[in-house]
Amino acid sequence: MTNTYRQSFQAPLNNVFNSRIRRALKAPERPIAIRKDHMTEAKSVLVVRPQGDAQSAVAYSIQDDDGITMFTASGRKFGDRSCREFRDSSGLPLFELHRKHWRNSWSVTLPGSSSARIAKISQRRNGIGNFYITFENAGAFACKDREDKELTLEIESHGNVLAMYDIVDGDRKVAEVRESIQHNEKLALVRRFPSTKHNYRPVLDVIITAEVDLSLIATVAVIISDAVFAANY
């Protein structure tokens, strides 16, 4: 076997094995946020509960581990705007999530605007649920230049039966999103059929390390749910 052939043969195998390497949860080296008012002080848990449909005022309820609603996301066709509207527990608008289906990409904007972008999300080529989210890190207090504040997190898909996703900052996993065994009535084993894929929206468990913005990770979890399970909601 020539060196060239050996390298071309081993590269796909290396990609497979590398894609299965999962890091332990570890707090980032500096705070990570698109909004500074929802930062975690310690390791936290969120539960993302799908409900309603595209016309519903609440299509996702994001709760803490005690069942208290922290955020909501509307249906994409609710009201007069074709997007998801995120609100905090008091109903105050936080931002909007816009999706471009033909590009398979998303953007997070300020409330009431489709152009005042605060984050962009682009799908990676190696499978559904693998993407990047890039934003100006509001947690980078010490950085004065905007270029130094720009941060990209990588979302990596793992798991064959139960869906699992790691949110990675450099070499650190700062959050994890996965199908909830505790909160889903049906086992994921019964829904792995293409014809029923978009009719099944599981509850998702989200684990977040300290010094990370809850609203940012909640948004990532909703994007994962939309991209993988609920294209028509």
pLDDT digits (tens, 9 = 90+) for 148-181: 689 999 999 987 778 899 999 999 999 999 998 8
Chain segment 12-63, per-residue pLDDT in tens: 434 443 445 778 899 999 999 998 899 999 999 999 999 988 889 999 999 9
Closest C-alpha among 130, 82, 80 to residue 105: 130
Neighbours of 32 (CB within 10 A): 28
Q: Calculate the CA dihedral of residues 219, 61, 68, 41 and round it to 10 degrees.
A: 0
Grade residue 141 by pLDDT with cuts at 50, 70 and 90. Answer: confident
Q: What average pLDDT does this structure show over 142-149?
A: 67
pLDDT of residue 90: 95
Q: What pLDDT does 147 receive?
A: 62
**On the CB side of 30, how many CA atoms lie within 13 Å of its CA?**
11
Helices (H) and strands (E) in the chain, counts: 3, 12
pLDDT in tens, 91-122: 999 999 998 876 678 999 999 888 899 999 99
Cα gap 64→161, rounded to integer Å: 25
Q: Do you know the residue count of the chain?
A: 233
Q: What share of the chain is helix, strand, coil (3-state, %, to 5)?
A: 20, 35, 45
Q: Closest Cα partner for 60 from 79, 76, 73?
A: 73
pTM: 0.83
What residue has token string 């605060």?
118
| CA gap 125, 46 in Å, rounded | 28
H or E element that contains 146 = helix 146-149
* Mean pLDDT value of segment 185-195: 50
Give residue for tokens 């060239």.
4
The domains found in the chain, sorted by start residue, are 25-228 (2.40.160.200)
